[in-house]
């Protein structure tokens, strides 16, 4: 939301949790004198002519033209100075940063545009509201008295493989304050609620490039078949190949009807 008075700053309202609180799109929650706007966040990495495409897509810090004082002026997700031990992730993929290129490579100039379509229906008594949750497998849940604190990191690094396990597992058990019927999503909590798996492509053209994830499978449980109770704990688990990877993410999205 942004104020009608241009001297005021924006208030960001995100999903229902658990790392970010507050609902979206409810006119009764808009502060008087403010107006609601949508924010679209898009991350694009140009890998044309890069020396190491895989390291570039993982935002390895040593592959980017970082400023000399990068670690002195960059802060992590909690507002603390970024450690030199940070080897890769979103902070090394900031606007204007560029991957190392093959010597002599000149990328052709091109203009890009984003197009999207929004549809809606008139609200009536047959529509049921939903809560939209984004869970994070890096969520380090702890309590402070009666308050539950969700310390999410958004991303993590998988270290060099020091075991024979083919997969690296990142897991978080997260209490859901307000439950509902699961109608879409991916999660695990002792009974399998939903599973999402990636599809990799093998071609050479955009949208079909070898080694890139082009989609994640979705699931839509039968209506009314799975209900998450208020306060019930849901375990979210992400699996990657057990090798050195930076900027790994384990986000799970689901809708709860209530």
Ordered strands of the 227-228 beta sheet: 130-136, 251-257, 180-185, 227-228
Q: What is the SS3 assignment for 198? A: strand
Q: What is the pLDDT of residues 77-92, one digit of tens each?
A: 888 899 999 999 999 9
- Angle at the Cα of 238 (from 232 to 242), degrees rounded to 5? 150
Alpha-carbon span 224 to 172, nearest angstrom: 26
Four-residue CA torsion sign, 96, 59, 213, 233: negative
User: In this structure, are strands 140-144 and 192-194 parallel, antiparallel, or unpaired?
Assistant: unpaired
Report the alpha-carbon distance of residue 104 to residue 117 in Å, rounded: 40
The predicted model gives 98-104 an average pLDDT of: 90
Q: Give the pair of three-digit tokens for residue 233.
A: 């704990």
Model pTM? 0.76
Cβ atoms of 210 and 204 within 8 Å: the answer is yes
Annotated domain spans of the chain: 125-257
Specify the range with the lowest mean pLDDT, choosing from 156-160, 172-176, 223-227.
223-227
113-151 residue pLDDT tens: 888 898 988 888 888 888 888 889 999 998 888 888 888
Radius of gyration of the chain (CA): 21
Contacts of 124 (CB under 8 A, 6+ apart): none
Say if residues 139 and 237 touch (Cβ distance below 8 Å). Answer: no
């Amino acid at each position: 939301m942004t104020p009608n008075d241009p001297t005021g700053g924006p208030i960001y309202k995100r999903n229902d949790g658990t790392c970010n609180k507050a609902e979206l799109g409810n006119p009764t929650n808009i502060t008087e004198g403010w107006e609601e706007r949508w924010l679209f966040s898009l991350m694009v990495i140009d890998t044309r002519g890069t020396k190491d495409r895989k390291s570039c897509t993982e935002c390895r810090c040593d592959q980017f033209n970082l400023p000399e004082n990068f670690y002195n002026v960059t802060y992590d997700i909690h507002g603390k100075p970024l450690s030199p031990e940070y080897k890769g992730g979103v902070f090394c993929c900031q606007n204007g940063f560029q991957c190392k290129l093959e010597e002599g490579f000149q990328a052709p100039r091109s203009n890009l545009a984003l197009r999207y379509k929004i549809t809606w229906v008139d609200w009536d008594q047959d529509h049921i509201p939903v809560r939209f949750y984004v869970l994070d497998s890096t969520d380090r849940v702890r309590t402070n008295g009666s308050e539950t604190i969700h310390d999410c990191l958004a991303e993590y690094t998988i270290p060099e493989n020091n075991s024979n396990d083919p997969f690296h597992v990142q897991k978080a058990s997260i209490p859901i304050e307000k439950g509902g019927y699961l109608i879409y999503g991916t999660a695990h909590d002792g009974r399998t609620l939903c599973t999402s798996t990636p599809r990799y492509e093998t071609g050479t053209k955009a949208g079909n490039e070898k080694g890139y994830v082009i989609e994640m499978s979705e699931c839509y449980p039968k209506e009314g078949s799975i209900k998450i109770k208020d306060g019930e704990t849901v375990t979210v688990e992400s699996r990657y190949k057990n090798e050195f990877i930076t900027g790994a993410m384990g986000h799970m999205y689901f809708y709860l009807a209530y």
